[in-house]
Structures are given as C-alpha cells and as structure tokens.
Amino acid sequence: MSDQLKINSHSFRLVKGDITDLEIESFVYYARNDLLLGAGYGTAISVRGGPTVQEELKRFGMLQTTEAVVSSAGEMKANFIIHAVGPKFQEEGQEGKLRSTILNCLKKAEEEGIKAIAFPAMGVGFYGVPVKTSAAITLKTISEYLSGDTRINDVVVCLLDMREYKPFHEEFMSISGV
Amino acid sequence: MGNRKRSYKAEKVIERMGKKLNRQMVASLVACVHCGLCTEACHYVLANPGDPTYAPAYKADQVRKFFKRHFDWTGRILPWWVKAKSLYTDEELNELKDTVFGKCTNCRRCSLNCPMGVDYATFNRMARGLLVSVGVMPEGVAIVSKDQWEIGNQMGVLKEDYVETLDWLSDELEDELGDPAVRIPIDKMDADVVYSINPREIKYDPRTISDAAKIFYVAGENWTMPSECWDMTNFGLFSGDDDLGGAVGRRLYEKVVELRGGKLVISECGHGYRSTRCEAPNWAGMDVEFEMESSVLTMLRYIKEGRIRVDKTKNKIPVTFHDSCNNARSCGLFEEPRELLSLVVEDFREMYPNRAENYCCTGGGGAMSMSEYTPQRLKSAVTKANQMKDTGAEIVVTSCHNCVDGLTDLIRHYKLGMQVTQLVNLVANAVVVEKKVAVPVEAVPVMAEDNVLKGYRILVTDDEPDFVTFVSAVLEDHGASVSRAYSGDEALELARREKPNLITLDIAMPGKSGKEVFEEMRADSDLKRIPVCIITGRPELRRLIYDRPVPPPEGYMDKPVTEDGLLLNVRKILETAHEKKSSEA
C-alpha cells in the first residue's frame, strides 16, 4: 500500500509497513532523551541491527527535546538511523516541538549527505501525540522542506497500521491537491 | 481551589479525567458508603491485615478525592465535608501510581462483594490511563506498552522469529505424526478458524501452539494463523490506555477480515479473551462482524461433535482448576473449562472458593511486568497459595497465560511443589490420533532418540547443585557432553576454555549474575556467537536480559523445567544455530 507525489522532482511517499525493516538509506527513530534504544522499535533495532548501534550512541550523551543525531544502522537493511527526540506524553508546546524535531531530522540528514529518509508516524502511539496532529504537522513540514533547496530526494512516511495510515492518507491527499 | 500552583502533569491528569468519565465510572465514584464489605474480599488486605492502605475503599478514595474536588458538586462546594482534594505535584502522581499499579490487580473481586455496585477496577484502570498519558508508570508497563504499540505484540517478538518458530513447530509436528498435513497453515485465505495467540506462547511456551495445532489437525479443522497481527493480548486493558486497546484490537480484527476468516479463536488467556472479545470493539469504535470464541469452547465443541476423541486415562495425575479473574469474573467463562476438564482428566479436585469468587493468581492486571512491586505481590499471594495447597492436587490447570506465570511464581515462593498447565496441553495429551496408512519413503538414516545431542558440548550454569545435576543428567542421557558451572565467574572461565555449543544460564546467582555473564559474553568476540538459553526461577528478571542493548538470548525457560521441555528447547536452539552457521558459511 502506498501513495506518492513529486515535490520539486523529489519523491514523497506514504507506505504501510515496519519502518525498521524498510529498504531505505535511513530512517528516523523517535528516541528517548538518554538515547537508550529501549523497547518497541528500539527492540527491533537492537535485534536486527546488533549491539553496535547502542554502542555508537554513547558518544552523544543526553539530547534535548527536538534534537537529532545520526548513527549507523548496524546489520539492518538501512544504512543510517536518525535518532530524534520528539515531544512526549502531552508535553508543553507539543506541536511546535514536533515540527522542530522533524526539521532537525531533515537538516541532520542533509548534513550527513543522506538522500533518502523514512519517518514513522512521529510521536503517535506510546508517546501519545494524536495521529491527526502528527499527520498534519509531519506532512506539512516535510512538503515545505522539499519545496525548498535540498539534496534529499526521497522521503517516505512509513505507517504501521490502518489506524495510522488512514489519517496520514487523508492529509496527504489534501497536500497533493487530490 | 486556592492559589496553590499545580504541576503541568497534574493539570493534564485532571483535564483528561473530565474526558474519560462515563456514567458507570461516575456511579462507582459517588456510590461508595464506606461500609467495608469490600475489605475482606481483597487478597492484598488478607495478606496485610494491619495495613489499611490496601483496603479497596481506601485505594478508591485516592482517585475519588480529586474526582470530587473537580467534577462532583459536593466536593466543589463542601470539599472539607466529603474529603475532596485536588492533585498538585508530581510526587502525588507518583504516590497514586504506587496505589493504582502496585496495590491492585484489577481482579474485581471487591466489586462482586459491594452492595452499592461500586466497580473499583473500572476507575482504577482509568486512573492508570491518566497517569500513563503523562508518562507516569512503572518501567515494565512502559516497556510492554511500547513493544505492543510498535512491534505489534507485548513481548517484542519480531515477525521473522514468529514465523521461524511456527515453522520449527510444524517440523516437530510432522516428525511426530508423520503427516505433512499437520503443518501450521500461515495466512491461509478463507479458513474457517483464524487462531490468535499470546506472544508468551511463541517466546516461552511454544508447546501450547503445537498442542493446539495437533487438536486442529485431528479435528480436521480448516484453520490458519496470521503471519502478523496475531497477538490477542492487549496491554491497554492493564495500562488503562484505551488508544492502545483500540489499536491492538483493530489490528487483529482487520487481519481476520483481510484473510476472510470465518471465526476468530482466542487461545487460553484471560485478559486476551476479555479484551479481544468484549472490550476492544468499544475501544476501537468498530463493529466486529465475525464470531469470536475462546479455544476452551472450541475444544469442548470438537469433543461434543465427535470431531476428536479423548482418552482421559492419559491424564491420571490429580488436578485442580484456577479460574482466571478476567475469564470467570468478568466474562462468565467458568462452567465450560470444568466440563472440558471432566472429559480429559481422571482426578479433578475443585478449589474453594471458585468460579466468580475465586482469588486472583496475583499476577493479573499487568503485575508480572512490574518488578518493583514483586515483594508485595508475592506476599499477597498467600491466600491463593493456601487455596491451592488445600486441594491436594499436583497440577493446577488454568486458562490464562498470565495466571500460568503468576501461579508458577507463587508455587516457587511458597514451595508448593505443584505444576501449572493449561487445558490445551491436557486435551492434546488425551486426544486419540487415528493411525494413518504410512506411505513407504526412501530410507534415510535417523539418529536414535537417545543420541540426539551427541557431539554437542553444553555448559550448564546454575547456583543450585540439584538443578545442575538434573539438567546435566537429561542432556547427558541424550548424548551431550556436559560441563558444570555453579557461579557466573566459573561459567565465563569454562566458556572461554571450552567454547561450548550452548550455555544454559541462571539469572540470579551469587557473585556475578547471569545478566552480567550474558553481557560479558555478548561483548566478547570469542563468546558472542555461543547460543545462550536462560533458565530462571525469577521470571520478573527477564527484562534484565531482554532489555539489554545486545542480541537477546537464543532461548528462555522458566523453572521448573521438564525433561521434554528442556530437550525441546535445547534441540531447537542447536538446530537454529547450526542453520545460521550453515547459511553464513
């Protein structure tokens, strides 16, 4: 299942699946401030990527909310993981922080010369960002970024299930003018 | 409400409470007359008679007081009269966390004994959800919730591991019954039955899956298991997170529809059954068109319809039955398991009190994942322990995986010497498999059963000498060459010297613990590829191993272990390691 559009000749897509098992250069992991991989997608990164990912993260210490760093992806299909600390549990200024986190991911990818990047439904699920809020902010922020001058040529938003996919699809349709 | 400043999180909790209240909750919040009839119904109170903070009415008041202060007119106008009090600080939220998560398993026994119909568990669950929404929760709750949100099951089982386990179980079944038709069908379209399971079955108790598969096979069922969205458990019931509850339920329902399945059969799990069959359609806000059934009813139906025959003489050991709170008290499922038991065991002994009045296993409500409350959980288990002991049975049967873990833990703690099993195991043991006409195949050399481990070097590590002797004897009887270590340091030394093919490792040992040994092994380039099977009597310590940033162990078993269980796990680990090595080569 996927939706796709072109912005300034850059590809922007929605897909349904497991982001940690995606064939793509890099993906975003919604990280903890201490960068411990922990549970959920963190489990998948630890198991599929091996211990080197966590080891590599030690050098970054603690991050502030909205910051992002890049590590290798160990033995995973992706080459890089962008660990981004987004807002959690109804945190104050949630929407602005979410927007900044997404922008920081894109900027960090740009700095590292990454061309393709996959985002999950940012903050949705365990961290409690409402899925419609996440869809609106994520898709708007990315589409605006791709409208500017960037070397990133493929952005994917990877949604886990239909609960996530439907609102993102609706928002995506409104952005693409369908 | 004065000028006292309220923390951001406390503000959010109160704000959200207004959205969560419904008529049932409000009725329960206002109806309590503090008569005290609930007190003796609670297993925490019975084990802590001098501590009033365990009384259901007291615990309920910790939620009720801020409900009254903000949402009830009596508390808004006369707070001092009705003991209404707001929440202000994060410390108060933490105290509330210890009450709603640590002092109640949401078993609902107090509700049954309340003349006013107060359903404390309902708003205790709501309070849990309010705290979770601001990130205040026990660490174990966070881990399990995140795994279920993002991996799709409570134990973070990845798809490849799930499918591989089903394949391996199919191989075993095919060997046992000599018929390729016994293999577990995955993602089969238009099956009459879609079978959903608890991830514990994949990770710690795969025998329950192969036993179910054997029963489906003998019954000639047209069935399947989904390759994803197969988890029928739902941590949303425990954490109070309705969004999680809805997401998990929706994934499973949509998968059944996608496979065009006729009926969803839910394996034996109390909270899974309650969530999937009763609660999740509401949380997900969707109509479920297909039928949902507990596997207990499925098995009973097969016997009644003559689709399977059973021989109860295969199960001679005296058994008793523990009613899961969610099955019995919340879903009324208590006669069917007894009827099924009477058909497959020779000696059934009732436990008293029972059915809806039964006491909680003490592992319910997510308690097994909250290790910080383990001492008080085990202390509160004394009532259950006495109940079980009084039956004189050697085996306690239950239709709930949570209860299996809770009961196993209390059996060990109170040294009851009993075993825990499920109905599916007993039915599979009693089922009569009709002999099929064997088709001669080209003869292939088959290793004698006694020598299946020949050529393998296995290091057995445990600080209990009796246990080391037992495990070593089983492995040696089947051809393995065994080394023994009684401490973590000794294990590492032997591992470095002998480079065994497999290490069995206890977690809690004096000196260097199993966790430290495991981490050192994974960090050591010479040892990191040696498969490890954790065998522990402390299941609450699992997370020490599984939450590490290193590849997880290749196997895990809870004590007590049986000879068959041990062999099954060891063979599986060695075969998988061999296949992995071959593919790498």
Task: Report the complex ipTM.
Answer: 0.98
Contact A47 B135 (CB under 8 A): no
Summarize pLDDT for B23-47 with one digit per residue, the tens: 999 999 999 999 999 999 999 999 9
Total domains in the fold of chain A? 1
> Is B572 or B314 the better-scoring residue by pLDDT?
B314
- Position B445 scores a pLDDT of 42
Q: Are strands A154-159 and A10-16 parallel, antiparallel or unpaired?
A: parallel
- Position B444 scores a pLDDT of 40
Chain A residue numbers with beta carbons less than 8 Å from the beta carbon of B147 are 39-40, 43
- Position B446 scores a pLDDT of 41
**CB-based burial of residue B156 (10 Å sphere; 0-12 exposed, 13-18 middle, 19+ buried)?**
buried
Nearest CA in chain A to B143: A39
- Position B438 scores a pLDDT of 45
Chain B residue numbers with beta carbons less than 8 Å from the beta carbon of A42 are 146
Axis-axis angle for helices B295-304, B207-219 (nearest 10)? 30
Could you tell me if A126 lies within 8 Å of chain B, comparing CB atoms? Answer: yes
Summarize pLDDT for B213-239 with one digit per residue, the tens: 999 999 999 999 999 999 999 999 999
What percentage of residues in chain B have a pLDDT greater than 70? 95
User: Domain residues for A125?
Assistant: 2-176
Summarize pLDDT for B287-299 with one digit per residue, the tens: 999 999 999 999 9
**CB-based burial of residue B354 (10 Å sphere; 0-12 exposed, 13-18 middle, 19+ buried)?**
middle
Q: Closest to A89 (Cβ–Cβ): which among B133, B143, B552? A: B133
Contact A46 B135 (CB under 8 A): no
Coil vs helix vs strand at B377 = helix
- Position B439 scores a pLDDT of 43
Fold for B8-137, please state it. Fumarate Reductase Iron-sulfur Protein; Chain B, domain 2 (1.10.1060)
- Position B449 scores a pLDDT of 60
Could you tell me if A53 lies within 8 Å of chain B, comparing CB atoms? Answer: yes
Average pLDDT over residues A40-55: 96
- Position A178 scores a pLDDT of 55
Summarize pLDDT for B325-339 with one digit per residue, the tens: 999 999 999 999 999
Average pLDDT, chain A: 96
What percentage of residues in chain B have a pLDDT greater than 90? 77
Say if residue B22's pLDDT is above 90.
yes
Chain A residue numbers with beta carbons less than 8 Å from the beta carbon of B229 are 161
- Position B435 scores a pLDDT of 66
Contacts 24+ apart (CB under 8 A), B556-565: B556/B203, B556/B204, B557/B204, B557/B533, B558/B204, B558/B405, B558/B408, B559/B412, B559/B467, B559/B535, B560/B412, B560/B419, B561/B471, B561/B535, B563/B474, B565/B207
Say if residue B495's pLDDT is above 80.
yes
Nearest CA in chain A to B548: A38
Say if residue B437's pLDDT is above 70.
no
Summarize pLDDT for B47-82 with one digit per residue, the tens: 999 999 999 999 999 999 999 999 999 999 999 999
pTM of the model: 0.83
Distance from B159 to chain A by nearest Cα, in Å? Answer: 10
Say if residue A103's pLDDT is above 60.
yes
Q: Closest to B146 (Cβ–Cβ): which among A39, A47, A163? A: A39
Structure tokens belonging to residue B463:
């600080």
- Position A139 scores a pLDDT of 98
CATH number of the CATH domain containing A88? 3.40.220.10
Summarize pLDDT for B501-518 with one digit per residue, the tens: 999 999 888 778 888 888
- Give residue A2's pLDDT band: very low, low, confident or very high (50, 70, 90): low
- Position B543 scores a pLDDT of 67
Domain B449-584 is of which CATH architecture? 3-Layer(aba) Sandwich (3.40)
- Position A84 scores a pLDDT of 98
A121 in Cβ contact with A131 (< 8 Å): yes
Q: Which of A149-158, B313-322, B531-540 has the lowest mean pLDDT?
A: B531-540
What percentage of residues in chain A have a pLDDT greater than 90? 96
Say if residue B366's pLDDT is above 80.
yes
Say if residue B585's pLDDT is above 70.
no
Alpha helices in chain A (DSSP H): 41-44, 52-57, 94-111, 131-147, 162-176
Domain extents in chain B:
8-137, 169-435, 449-584
> Residue B492 has what DSSP assignment?
H
